[in-house]
Amino acid sequence: MRITLILLSCTVGALTACGPSDGTPRTTAVASVDYPAFGPMVGARLGLGRTPDKVALAAMDTDIDAEGTALPPGRGSAEEGKTLYAQQCAMCHAPDGRGMLPAFPRLLGRDPKAEGFVFADDAKLPHTIGNYWPYATTLFDYIKRAMPLTAPGSLTDAQVYALTAYLLAEDAVIPKGTTLDAISLRAVKMPYVDRFLWSDEVGASR
Amino acid sequence: MSTPDTSVTRRDLLVGAAGALGGAVLAGLPVSADGQEAAAARPTVPADPTKLQGGVTTQVGTRSPFETPTRAPYGETVGNSLTPLQDLTGVITPSDLHFERHHAGIPAIDPERHTLTIHGLVDRPLTFTLDDLKRFPQVVRTYFIECSGNGRAAYRDPKPDMTPQKVSGMISTSEWTGVPLATLFREVGASPKAKWFLAEGGDACLMTRSVPIAKAYDDAMIVWAQNGEPLRPAQGYPMRLLLPGWEGNINVKWLRRLELGMAPWMTRWETSKYTDPRPDHKADMFTFVQQPKSIITAPGYPREVKRRGWHAVNGLAWTGKGKITRVEVSTDGGKHWSDAELLGEVRPKAAVRFQQMWEWKGQETILLSRATDETGEVQPTRSALIARRGIGTDYHFNQIVGWKVERTGQVFFHGET
């Protein structure tokens, strides 16, 4: 850590000359701290840590990326998903899927007012799955890792496929009655994916 | 959480601080759900504390019964609690008042059973215990964490009765101790092919965010301590990812796994949430960096300016882009601005306290602050931000805010800048 002392130009003058125009005194020196970047640190290793337990790592490593590369075997239908929704989801997200804000978002049905991706124009528009979500695979990943709230991670892969199919069908992304598996889920294109902009560069808001 | 996370309960005070006050009677302690001062019922203390022996030493200190800062709201599993900015001074946020934002509550974790596994595009996947991490060379740095939703209510629907806590209470600053992520990436032999890594938390939603690899070689850390002691459970005990200057959500708490890969994973939190809708009906993703921002925390609603004469108007300024270089204060609603004093050391990606002496002569006026950072970016007005991003944009609200002072000395939030 490097500490530099920045002396404002007025410190060479009389102290009172540096204050606000009303003449009240104030401190004129500001210490400034710089932190160097860590860099790639290509030196010697310390030999700490151990090889991960294969079974434990496989149990944790359930993430599904945007391409759906690691989607597991199994299949589920929107029809099965409807039954599961009533049993597992409706208590928080409501039987009609309108949700319970702010904690439990709307799950069923797009909002016609939000079509055209006009979210910046109106703070009240719900970011529904069909109106907003760019990737269908995200639904599978998230439902499997985090839902239902009362028993996270308890759904089978077939149940997760079924719920994913039901939610997508209710939002008119796929036809009602669709059955999803790894191959068909990978093929789902979300209506507004082309509206999302990103790069590998680190960014801030515009 | 099921119980209020206030650090001082009435019972604590009766049992502990009553002793500390030498047998004083504590009557009607102020209790408040929204962090405001209760009007009545002050603790009773001896008329002359120099005439009797004081309280005994204690195992764990508590605040004076006259000081009752609290986070608010509270009691949510999926929700937040905000830091009472109006009750704090300096830049360090007391750990028990650091703001909270949880997506599946605060997990109860045994540090001896918790591990961090790094795998994917690495030469040697490795699992580290907390003890392993502490054997690496440690670094100590002071950084803020700010939720990217901080300021949303004040942006969309400013109201006169908003407190500093309500306007901007999802910013907290701590001294963090940990190991550079770059050190761990060397240990596992991170592949030069890796462009992003996935960070996964050990809470009930297994929070996951994708991070560009460059951040690891800049200033990313895995931290286990905060303000001189282990992390608070609400801040990620026993270890969390710290990505200085970046939106709070990506500083994944209760960190259990890092996977190195080629592209972002597109998790729920970086697609359906934490994206910025634009007025041209597109949305920006991965807008991580918090922009320059400031807020006057004294005075501020509901505390009145009680007397005419000189007041030390002060507040906090911060930026995720580096260092704050300038904070200007206006005491006449923006007609004139003058440079405020920056108190103490200015650190990159840490809050700094600013101060401006102000003589109140009983007039109605508006107090404003405006921060500039080392990249030259200046905090915009609310109307400029709305023009750029739209009223419905969802995150990263760094608009100028202020306080209207009435002739009566009453102070109200002024958000329509």
Question: Pick from A39, A125, A202: which is nearest to B392 by CB?
Answer: A125
Q: pLDDT tens track of chain B, all 417 residues?
A: 334 444 444 444 333 434 444 334 444 344 444 444 445 689 999 999 999 999 999 999 999 999 999 999 999 999 999 999 999 999 999 999 999 999 999 999 999 999 999 999 999 999 999 999 999 999 999 999 999 999 999 999 999 999 999 999 999 999 999 999 999 999 999 999 999 999 999 999 999 999 999 999 999 999 999 999 999 999 999 999 999 999 999 999 999 999 999 999 999 999 999 999 999 999 999 999 999 999 999 999 999 999 999 999 999 999 999 999 999 999 999 999 999 999 989 999 999 999 999 999 999 999 999 999 999 999 999 999 999 999 999 999 999 999 999 999 999 999 999
What's the average model confidence in pLDDT over A190-205? 87
Rounded CA-CA distance A182/A175 in Å is 17
CA B359 to chain centre: 30
Q: What is the pLDDT of residue A199?
A: 80
Contact of B133 with B240, CB cutoff 8 Å: no
- β-bridge mates for residue B257, sequence order: B117, B200
Interface of B with A in 189-248 (CB under 8 A): 195-196, 198, 200, 204-206, 208, 212, 214-220
Q: Which two tokens stand for residue A21?
A: 């125009």
Determine whether the interchain pair B345/A103 forms a contact, defined as Cβ–Cβ distance below 8 Å: no
Contact list, A66 vs chain B (CB under 8 Å): 263-266
Q: What is the pLDDT of residue A20?
A: 47
Residue corresponding to tokens 């007041």: B311
Q: What is the pLDDT of residue A205?
A: 76
CB contact A177 to B (< 8 Å): no
Residue corresponding to tokens 């060397």: B186
**A99: exposed, middle or buried (Cβ count in 10 Å: 0-12, 13-18, 19+):** middle
> CATH number of the domain at B115-283, please?
3.90.420.10
Question: Pick from A35, A60, A65: which is nearest to B263 by CB?
Answer: A65
Residue corresponding to tokens 């000359």: A17
Contact of B85 with B219, CB cutoff 8 Å: no
Contact of B102 with B207, CB cutoff 8 Å: no
More confident position, A181 or A205: A181
- CATH 1.10.760.10 intervals, chain A: 63-195
pLDDT surpassing 60 at residue A21 = no
> CATH number of the domain at B293-414, please?
2.60.40.650
The topology (CATH level 3) of A63-195 is Cytochrome Bc1 Complex; Chain D, domain 2 (1.10.760)
- CATH 3.90.420.10 intervals, chain B: 115-283
What's the average model confidence in pLDDT over A21-29? 49
Rounded CA-CA distance B61/B45 in Å is 18
Contact of A109 with B238, CB cutoff 8 Å: no
Single-letter residue type at B43: P
Q: B203, B271, B353: best mutation site toward chain A, by most A Cβ within 10 Å?
A: B271
Nearest to A187 by CA among A170, A156, A166, A165: A165
Rounded CA-CA distance A198/B74 in Å is 35
Contact list, A51 vs chain B (CB under 8 Å): 124-127
Residue corresponding to tokens 């530099």: A4
Contacts of residue A175, Cβ cutoff 8 Å, sequence gap at least 6: A169
CA B395 to chain centre: 15
Q: Nearest chain A Cα to B78, which residue?
A: A103
Rounded to a whole number of angstroms, the distance between the first and last alpha carbons of chain A is 31
Q: What is the pLDDT of residue B25?
A: 40
Q: What is the pLDDT of residue B40?
A: 63
Q: What is the pLDDT of residue B296?
A: 98
Determine whether the interchain pair B132/A51 forms a contact, defined as Cβ–Cβ distance below 8 Å: no
What's the average model confidence in pLDDT over A175-203? 93
Q: What is B277-300 written as a DSSP string?
A: E-TTS-EE--EEEPPPEEEEEES-
**CA separation, residue B243 to residues B170, B247, B322 (Å):** 16, 8, 13
CB contact A14 to B (< 8 Å): no
Q: For A149-180, what is each residue's pLDDT tens digit?
A: 999 999 999 999 999 999 999 999 999 999 99
| Per-residue b or e along B61-87, where b marks 16 or more CB atoms closer than 10 Å to that residue's CB | eeeebeebbbbbebeeebbbbbbbbbb
What's the average model confidence in pLDDT over A139-157? 97
Determine whether the interchain pair A39/B182 forms a contact, defined as Cβ–Cβ distance below 8 Å: yes
Polymer length of chain A: 206
pTM of the model: 0.89
Split at pLDDT 50, 70, 90, the class of A44 is: confident
Rounded CA-CA distance A123/A133 in Å is 17
Rounded CA-CA distance B157/B137 in Å is 47
